[in-house]
Structure 1
C-alpha cells in the first residue's frame, strides 16, 4: 500500500509549476504521483470489503474524491521548492480516510503500516549516510555531526521509562537528505519523537527536550555569550551567566523594564533550577515557544527558567526584599504548583506590564458612552484583556429618541460594531481578541439578541466572532416554573430594573407590568415565559450562545453589594464584580494546580496552604504593578483590589485518587478541596490586610459583617423564600475563628476566588484544564500553536498495569473517538474511571460545581456536556443548575455538533505538522479556532 512515488511525472502538475518530489525512507527522491494514492486507498478498501470493492462505482468515486483532497492538502503545504516525505503522504491518506468516516478501512491501513514499520525496524539500520551535509543559517555547509544528534536524543530519553533513542534516530534517518538545513535537522528530531507519542505518552517529554535543545541553540547563539550549543548538563553551569546576559539584552531592546537590572542578579541567577526545563511536555513547551518567550525579530532568546524568573521578578518589584520574594514566586511558577494567567505571563517585568485577564464594563444609553465603550474595548484588548460588556442599559428597538424625535434601532447594530472591534484588535497580535455581550432577559431586544450567532439572516445583525450571554433574574425562572407570562421592556422606560435584584427586582418588575397594562409604558411585549426559555435553550444548542448566567445569585452573594451592582460576568463567566459608568471591573487571575497537591492518600493540605498564601500575595501585587490602559479600570482595581484564585488539574487529581467524576466521592472531593483553598485564600488576604491595609471599600461589605461566602448562601435562600435552592452547607474547618479574623483585621481584597478556564496555562503545566472532565483519552487539540496529539498518560499507565496497552488498543481508541466504552477487553472499573466528558451525566458536574460554589465569592467557568441533547434534557439540566445555586454556566458542548477529529495523529503536531524534509517556504501559523460549542479548549481568557 505504498503511496505517492512513481517513475513517471505527475499527470496533474501544470508545466509551469516546479516538480514535486517525494523523499523515500532511504533518502532517495522520485516524482510525486497522486495515482499511487488512489491505488493505496483502493487496496485498503479491498482489504476490508473484499474483491468486489475494486469494481464498485461507489468505492471508485470515494477514492477519486479522497485522492483529490489529499493531493490538494499536500501541494498546499509543499512550499516553494515542493518536496514531500513518503511518511507524511501516508499520514494524510490515513487522515482523509478517518475524516470521511471510513474507519474500518483506515484501521486496516493503520495496521498495515504498523506491520511494515515493524518489518523495517527488524532490519537493523546502518549508520547515517556519510554524504549528508548540513547547511547553516549563514549558508556555510558542513558534514552532518551524527554523533551530536545521537547524544542529544540519548539525553532526551534519559530517565523516561518506556522510551529509547533508537526508534527516534530511525525516524530521523528517514528525514535526512544532502543539504538539509540546521533548522530542518533540529525540527526533524522533534518530529521523529512526536511520531511515537500515541504509542507511549512519555515521548511527549522526549519531543519537548529535543525542542529545548533547539531553543537553547537559538537563545545562546543570539546572545553570543559563548558556544552556540549546550546540552542539559552544560546548561546547568551556563544558566547564571546566560540569565544576566539575557536580562541586560532584553532591557537594551526595551522589552523588559530597566528596574529588573537593579535586582541582585547574581543572587537571582543562583536560584534558577535548570533541571526544571526537563519537566515540560511538548504541548506546554511549544506553546511557550510560539507565544510567550521574548524574541527579537522572531528569534527566541528567553529560556524557560529565565521566563519564569522574569515573571517572578516583575511581580516582586514593590516588595521590601525583592530578591527573596522573586525567588519564592519563581519556585511556585517553575514547579507548576501555581500558574499566573496569560496576560501576567506575557507582560510581567516588561515595559508595559498589563497583567490583568478580563475587564467588565457597563455601556450607558447615549452615543458618547457607546462609542467610548468601543475605544475602551480596543485599549483593554490590546494588552491581552478579555472583555465582558453589559449592554442592558441601551434602549431597545422602537424606543423613542428624544434628541431627534426618532425611533431607536435597538442594541443589535451597536453589538455588531463591538464584534468587529474585538476582531480588529486581536490582543496585540498574540491571540484572538475576545468579548462577551450580556443582556438581561427582560430587554425588549432579547429575542434578536438570541439570534446574533446564527449563520442565517441579515449579516448586519449578526456577531459571529463575539460571545453572548443571558443575564437571567430569578423572577424569570419562577415564571418558567409556573408557566406564567413574561413582559419585555425597553430600559429607557424602566431604568431602575438594571440595578435591582432579588425581592426588590421582583416587586418593581411586577409594578412595571401593571403600568404597562394601564397603558403607561409605550414599548413592551408580553410572551409566554416557557416559550422564551425554550428559545434560549434552542439557540444555546444550535449556536452555542447565549450562555445562561444568573443575576440574583451573583448579586445576593456578592461581598460588595454595598458598593454597587454586578451587571454581568466576564468573557468566561467566572468573574462577578460590580460595574458602572465610572468603574470598569478588572479580574486578576491565577490558578493552583490541584494535581500537584494530591497523593494517592488524599489532599496535601500543608502544601496547598503554602501555595495559596504565596499565590494570593502574587495576585495582590498585580494590582499595584499593573499598567492600566483606561482610568476607569485603575480606579476600580485600586479601590476594591479584587483577585480571582482558581484551580486547574482537577481531573488529574481525581485520576491520582482513583475517583470517577460520576461518583459521590468525587463530588465530596470537589467540596473539601475547595473548602481548603477558600479557607487559606481568605486567611491570606486577611493577613495581607494586617500587613498592608484593608481595601478602600471594605467597610459595609459582607466581609466587614462577618459574612463569608459559605454564609452568603442564606441570603440567596431568603430571597428564594425557601424554594428553588438545594445546596449542601456542610463544613469541616474552623470557620468561626476565620470570621473573627476577617472582621477584625479586614481583607486586602474585595474578592479572592474565581475558577477560570485555564485553557492555555494548563497546557503549560501539562494537566487538564480548570474543573473540566476529560474531553477525550486520545485526540488532536488545535490552538494558535497548531495541532497537538493529546494522550491520557494516566490511562496508559493503568492499561500497562493490566497488560492491555498495545497497538490494537491505540487503533481502537482512535476508532472510538478516545472512548473506552465500546472496547470489550477494557475492565468496567477503568471504563468508569476514564469516562470522557460526553459519557458523564452533566448533573454530576453541576453537583460538584454546587459544592464548590458555596466556598467561592465569585463564580466558576463551568462547561456542560450532552451526548444526545434534547429539549427536555436541556431544560432539566439548566433548571438543576439554577436550583443548585450556581451563579453562571459557560459553554454547552454537544456531540451532535461535531465529533472529535479522527486522525492517525502522526505528523499532525503543532507547527511541525508540515516540517519540510527539503527546502520549503515556512508554513503560516494556523488561525486560532473561534470559541465554539464544540471547542474543547477556548484559550481567549487564560
Structure 2
C-alpha cells in the first residue's frame, strides 16, 4: 500500500529538529526545472522528518528517538554530499534525494526508505505526464558578460568526438550526469568544470573514462589559452596550433616566464613539428598534474598546452646545440611520445629565466659552526629552485665532545639537524612542491642512537625532525659484526676524523686501531654495545617511523666509477644517487627515465628503438650540465668536472603485465636483468659516443672507466673487499668486450650514466606504474598536491573484460578488498597470480630483481620494500638479504595500516633465504617477533 507523507507534517519553519550544519550561501541546488536555489541543510532535515512521520505517525512528532534519528540521518547525508559540494558548488536535487534513500537504508529504516522511494516514484510519474516538450537549449554566461546558447545535442556531439576511439565509454551515461549539473545562466567556468567532474566520477567504472576526463579538461585549457591569445577557435583547432605556439612563446617571454632566447628559434619550423594528436594519450591524473604544477600560467590563465610544454622543455635543452631546431624536434619527439621523460626540475624550469634542471644535490657538512650554517644556507638556495637534497652529517662532532674555542661541550649533531629540518619547511621547491632533504649519518657516530629517534612522535620536540628524511650510512664492518654477533664501538668524529673518508679494508684497520686506543684510555669519549642491539634498534625505528633508511657505504664506494676523485659520503633524497662530495664540491645529478612499455613489441624489447631513445636521452641529460642554473658555485664546479647523469626506467610493472609475467617469478627477475642490461649498455655506449664528439669529462683519467672496469666488472672489487658476504648474479648477454675496448680508446663523456629514480610524478604524467615498483593497489585513491584521484589498474580491467568479469559487482568487490583480487572467488588463479599487489608479494622477489639491476648500474636505485605484516625476523632477513645481494641502498619500508592487515594475504616463494645468521629485533623468545 502506498504511504504518502501526511499533510500535517512539520514545515520548514518548524521541523522536528534543525540541523547543526550551517547552510553555505555559495552552494546551489539545481531543481528539475533547471532553476538553481541556495543550498539549505534544513530542507534535508525537513524531508527526512516528513518521511519519518509518514510511517511513525504524528504521535511521534515529539519523540526524542525520532529527533535523534533525524539528526543522525541528516548528518550522514550532509557528510556524503560534502565532497561533491567542495569540488563543484552545484548539486542536483535528485542527488540529494538519492543520498537520503541510502542513509535510510544503511541506518535500518527500511519501512521509511520504502515509503520515500514510492513517493519519489509517484512524483516522477506525475511530472512525466505533465511535462511539456524538453527545453532545446540553455544559456551560458561568458567571461565577457555575454550569453551563448548551448544544447544537449551540442554536448553530446562533443562527447562523441572525445570518445570516438574508446569502446567502453557510455556517452548517454555521461550526458545524463552532465545534464544534472548544468542550468540556465551557468557560467562558462562552471559549465566546463561540470563536464570534467561528471567524467571524473566514472573513472572507477572503467579506466577509459580517465582519458575522456583528460580530453574534456584539455578542451577547457585550449579554449582558455586560445581565447586569451586571440587564436581563432573552430571545429579544427589543431590547424590553429601553429598560430597558438607563436603567440604563446612571445607572450610568455613578454611576461618574463621564458628566456628571450627562445624567440630566436625558427618558431615556424618548430610549430610544424608539433603533433597535437598526442594530447589524446593523456589520462586525467597526468594532465591534471601538469595543469596544476607544470604548465606556465599568467594570472589565472594557463598559457601552456601540452605540446607547447614539451617543445618548450626541448628548446631549453637544445639551446647550446649547433642545429638547435633539429635537436629541439628530436628531443620534443621523445618527450611528447612518452618514450622518455625528463625529471620534474627539468620540466619545471627548462626554457625559463632560471633553468635549474638538476634533480639531486649531495653535500657534506663540516665540523665547524661557520661551515654548518653555510651548508644550511646552501640547502636553502638549492631547495628554492626545486632541488632535492642529501646531506652528510657524519663529520659533525658528537654530544659531549670538547669545543676547543670555548672549552665547553658540544650539543652534538641533533640540534643542527633540527635547524636543517626547519629550513626545508621554510624554503619549498619554487613554491611548486615541498622542500625535501635527507640527512645521512655513519653507524659509528656516537650520536647515532639519537639520530635513530629523530622521527619519533614522542620525546623532546627540540630533538625531533618530523619533516626531514634520515638514512643510516652503514659500513660493511658493522654488518659483519651483526652477523657474527660481535661488539660495536661508537666514536665522535673529532677523535676519529679519517674514518669518514675510509672504506673497505682500510676502514676496518683504522676502526680497529681506534678501538684499541679507546681500550687504552687514549680516546675518552666512546661507547660500546653489541652490534646486534644497535641493528635491532635501527630496524625497530625503521618499522615504527619509516626512518632512517638502510644504505650501504662500502657497496657505494668500492664500485664507484670516480673513486679516484673522492669518497661517496651519502646518497641523495631518494637513495639512487651515489657521488662523492667534499668541501669544494657539491655533487649534482641530472635525471630522466625510459618508458619501458613504449619499447616493447609483442612483449619483447625493441632493441633498435631503445638504442635510439637512450642515445637521445643521454644527449639531453648531458646538455643540462652547461645549460643548468647553479645557485651555489660548488655545484657548478663539481658538475662541470665530472658530468654525472642518471638515466633510469619506469613502467616495469606495466611491462610485466604485457608479458603476462608475475612480479614474483623467475621470469620477471630475468626480465629485470635483461632490460636493465640493455639500457645500461646503450647508455654507456651513448656516453662513449658523446666523448668522441665532445671530449671526455675532465676527471676521466684514473677512473674505473679508464682502467677498463665497467659496472659489471666492479662487482669483483666488492667481492674482494667483502670476502664471503656477497652473492650476486653476474651473467651477461651483450657484447661488453667491444664496448669496453671503445671506452679505453675514446673515453666517457660522463662519470656516471645510470640511476633509477622513483619517478613518482613523471610516471603519472605518462600513465605508467612508478619506476621499478610493483602495483601498490589495483584500485585506490591517490592524493598529491593536485588533489585526490581514483586510480584503477587498467591492465587488470582489460584482463577481466576479456574474461567477461568486469561489472559493477567487480568494482564494488575491489573497493571492499582495498584493490586486492586475492579474495574474489570468481577471478581465476592465473589472474590472481599476475595481479598481486605490492603487499601480497614476498619482499625477497623485489630484492632479487633489484640485485639483477644493480649489477648494471654505476649508481643505485630507489627501492621501496613492502611488508603487509612486518616482524623482527622478516625485517632482519630482508635487509641482510639486500646487503648480501649487493644492493647499494634501500628506500622506504612500507607496511599496511591496521585496518587493512586482516585483508592482506602473504605469499611466500619456495627458495630458501640467504645463509646468514638470523637475529630477532626484539625479544627472541617473543611470539610477536616471529
| TM-score between both structures, scaled by the size of structure 1 | 0.87
Change (3 A) 1:18 1:171: closer
1:171-320 to 2 correspondences below 5 Å: 171-225=177-231, 227=232, 229-231=233-235, 234-320=236-322
State whether residues 90 and 181 of structure 2, in contact with CA within 8 Å, keep that contact through their aligned partners in structure 1. no
Describe the SS at the equivalent of 2:783.
strand
Matched, 1:803 2:804: yes
Determine if the alignment matches structure 1 residue 496 to structure 2 residue 498. Answer: yes
- Answer whether contact 1:20 1:83 (CA < 8 A) is retained: yes
Q: Deviations over 1:516-561 (max 9, x none)?
A: 1111112111111111111111111111111000000000000011
Displacement of 1:134 after TM fit? 1.6
Offset at residue 163 of structure 1 (A): 1.5
SS at match of 1:803: coil
Q: CA deviation at 1:39?
A: 9.8
Matched, 1:443 2:445: yes
Q: Give the Cα separation in 2 of the matches to 1:269 and 1:521.
A: 70
CA distance in 1, matches of 2:406, 2:102: 60
CA distance in 1, matches of 2:21, 2:77: 17
CA positional deviation for 1:572: 0.3
1:707–1:66 Cα change, 3 Å: farther
Q: For 1:241-263, what per-residue CA distance to the aligned partner results, in whole angstroms no more than 9, with x for missing partners? A: 11111111111111111111111
Change (3 A) 1:96 1:731: farther
Distance 2:872 2:713 in 1: 35
Q: CA RMSD in A?
A: 3.3
Partner of 1:592: 594
Which residue does the alignment assign to 2:730? 729
Q: Kindly indicate whether the alpha-carbon contact (under 8 Å) linking 1:544 and 1:891 is maintained by their aligned counterparts in 2.
A: yes
Conservation of the 8 A alpha-carbon contact between 2:245 and 2:271: yes
The answer on 1:12 being equivalent to 2:12 is: no
CA–CA separation in structure 2 for the residues paired with 1:173 and 1:71: 22
Equivalent of 2:166 in 136, 144, 160: 160
The answer for the alignment partner of 1:816 in structure 2 is 817
Residues in 2 aligned to 1:665 and 1:103: alpha-carbon distance in whole angstroms: 50
1-side partners of 2:68 and 2:413: how far apart? 50
Asked whether the 8 Å contact 1:205–1:281 carries over to 2, the reply is yes
- 1:469-522 per-residue CA deviation (whole Å, 9 max, x = no partner) reads 110111111111011111111111100010111111111111111111111112
Shift of 1:86: 5.3
| Counterpart secondary structure, 2:490 | strand
Match of 2:834 in 1: 833
Q: 2:711 pairs with 693, 709, 730, which one?
A: 709
Count of residue pairs brought into register by the alignment: 868
Distance 1:388 1:633 in 2: 13
- The residue that corresponds to 1:919 in the other structure is none
The match for 2:521 is 519
Measure, in 2, the Cα distance between the counterparts of 1:29 and 1:668.
Answer: 61
| Alignment of 1:149 onto 2:150 | no
Q: Specify the SS of the correspondent of 1:353.
A: coil
TM-score normalised to the size of structure 2?
0.88
3-state DSSP of counterpart to 1:310:
helix
Q: SS at 1:581's partner residue? A: coil
Matched residue, 1:643: 645
**Alignment correspondent of 2:887:** 886
**CA displacement at 1:631 relative to structure 2:** 0.2
- What is aligned with 2:566? 564
- The alignment partner of 1:865 has SS state of strand
- Of 359, 374, 382, 1:357 maps to 359
Distance in 1 of aligned mates of 2:771 and 2:66: 45
Partner residue of 2:30?
A: 23
In structure 2, the CA distance between the partners of 1:408 and 1:252, relative to structure 1 (3 Å rule), is same
Residue in structure 2 matched with residue 746 of structure 1 by the alignment: 747
Distance apart, 1:144 and its partner CA: 3.2
Structure 2 alignment gaps of length 5 or more: 1-9, 52-63, 904-930
User: CA deviation digits over 1:730-784, x for unaligned, max 9?
Assistant: 0000111111111111000000000000000000000001000000111101111
* Counterpart-to-counterpart distance in 2, 1:502 and 1:127: 85
Cα distance in 2 for residues equivalent to 1:830 and 1:59: 50
Is contact 1:27-1:175 (8 Å) kept? Answer: no
Cα distance in 1 for residues equivalent to 2:832 and 2:626: 49
Higher relative contact order (CA 8 A, sep 6+): 1
The unaligned stretches of length 5 or more in structure 1 are 1-5, 44-56, 903-942
Residue aligned with 1:437, SS: strand
Displacement of 1:224? 1.5
CA deviation profile, 1:428-447 (whole Å, cap 9, x unmatched)? 11011111011111111111
* Between 615-624 and 261-270, the greater mean CA deviation after superposition: 261-270
Query: Equivalent residue for 1:386?
Result: 388
Is the 1:26–1:174 Cα contact (8 Å) retained in structure 2? Answer: no
**Structure 1 residue 136 displacement after superposition:** 1.6
Tell me the distance in 2 between the aligned counterparts of 1:272 and 1:431. 29
Whether the 8 Å contact between 1:13 and 1:19 is mirrored in structure 2 is no
Instruction: Give the superposition deviation at 1:141.
Output: 3.1
Q: CA deviation at 1:901?
A: 15
Shift of 1:603: 1.3
Describe the shift of the 1:162–1:513 C-alpha distance in structure 2 as closer, same or farther (beyond 3 A): same
Q: Which residue of structure 2 lines up, in the alignment, with residue 396 of structure 1?
A: 398
SS of the aligned residue for 1:427 comes to: coil
Distance change in 2, residues 1:350/1:794 (3 Å): same
2:138–2:151 Cα contact (<8 Å) kept: no
Give 1:628 shift. Answer: 0.6
Is 1:136 the counterpart of 2:137? The answer is no
Residues 341 and 762, structure 2, Cα contact 8 Å, conserved in 1: yes
**Shift of residue 147, structure 1, vs aligned partner:** 4.3
Q: Which of the two has higher C-alpha Rg?
A: 2
Partner of 2:343: 341
